[in-house]
Amino acid sequence: MSAKGKKRIAAAITHLLMTALGIVMIYPLLWMLLSAFKTNSEIFGSTALLPVEPVWDSFIKGWKGTGKVTYTQFYINTFKLVIPTVLFTVFSCSLVAYGFARFRFYGKKVLFMLMISTLMLPNSVLIIPRYILYNKLGWLNSYLPFIMPALFACYPFFIYMMVQFFRGIPVALDEAAEIDGCNTFQVYWRILLPLMKPALFSAAIFQFIWTWNDFFNSLIYINSVSKFPIVLALRMSLDATAAANWNQVLAMSVLSLLPGTILFFSAQKYFVEGVSAGSVKG
């Protein structure tokens, strides 16, 4: 067999394996979507992927939520929590990264090492001191425990990622901008920030998905049903009755995945560039 023929066979086998792997990975999502149209007995009593007797109102009934609070309110609550957190994280972390990447000051290396070392702290160690602090500040049962840390750049992973990206941008651009009359903040805002789009989008996507799916911290800091984000609403729908309507729970779970999925595919180009650049530079 010629070398060209061997390459074609290898490519065909690779495509088959990738297709099989893709089907295995997408199967749970497909099952969740199609199970939203099944009855409880069919979900737990049949292994068939397609519903035998489709139920068409699970999305409408599920959207009504529990009691007087509908999923419209849960979605509004989630966006109130997530959007400021993402925007403040991107702005504050990029500003701190700009300082570490472009300026020389006393104790810079020590501060950078301390900042990186906080990455090693497990979240379980921080829960109790954070809860006591937020309780004394009167921030419990609000979204401030999520928003305020984002405002003060409390996410060292994003800072480190952006520092690496800043170091890949030539310093000559800063010097040229200063000669043209830009001050320090204008260099950051007008020159460097537009070049940072891949890193900014990567940080925004990561933070959006992590905050959107953050069940543990939401459960600790928010105790009013009218302020529940979607993750708590989904959990509450299982507690409301002894026999949960699983098709409605799965229908709302499908809808809860949409914002993150749309954001990811909308910014996929910048996300891939940002992650690859962060892994190569530095």
Q: What's the 3-state SS for the chain?
A: CCHHHHHHHHHHHHHHHHHHHHHHHHHHHHHHHHHCCCCHHHHHHCCCCCCCCCCCCHHHHHHCCECCECHHHHHHHHHHHHHHHHHHHHHHHHHHHHHHHHCCCCCHHHHHHHHHHHHHCCHHHHHHHHHHHHHHHCCCCCCHHHHHHHHCCCCHHHHHHHHHHHHCCCHHHHHHHHHCCCCHHHHHHHHHHHHCHHHHHHHHHHHHHHHHCCHHHHHHHCCCHHHCCHHHHHHHHHHCCCCCCHHHHHHHHHHHHHHHHHHHHHCHHHHHHHHHHHHHCC
How many other C-beta atoms are found inside a 10 Å radius of the C-beta of residue 13? Answer: 10
Q: What is the pTM of this model?
A: 0.86
Nearest by Cα to 131 from 66, 217, 211: 217
From first to last of its 282 residues, the chain has per-residue pLDDT tens of: 777 788 888 899 999 999 999 989 999 889 999 998 988 888 888 778 888 888 888 899 889 887 788 999 999 999 999 999 999 999 999 999 999 999 999 989 999 999 989 888 888 888 999 999 999 999 999 999 999 999 998 899 999 989 988 988 888 888 898 888 889 999 999 989 988 888 898 899 999 999 999 999 999 999 898 999 999 998 887 765 557 788 888 999 999 999 988 988 888 777 766 666 655 454
Cβ proximity of 235 and 45 under 8 Å: no
How many other C-beta atoms are found inside a 10 Å radius of the C-beta of residue 147? Answer: 20
Nearest by Cα to 166 from 198, 190, 192, 201: 192
* Helices 156-167, 71-102: crossing angle, 10 deg rounding: 50
Q: Which residues pair with 66 in a beta bridge?
A: 69
Structure-block tokens of residue 240: 């409301």
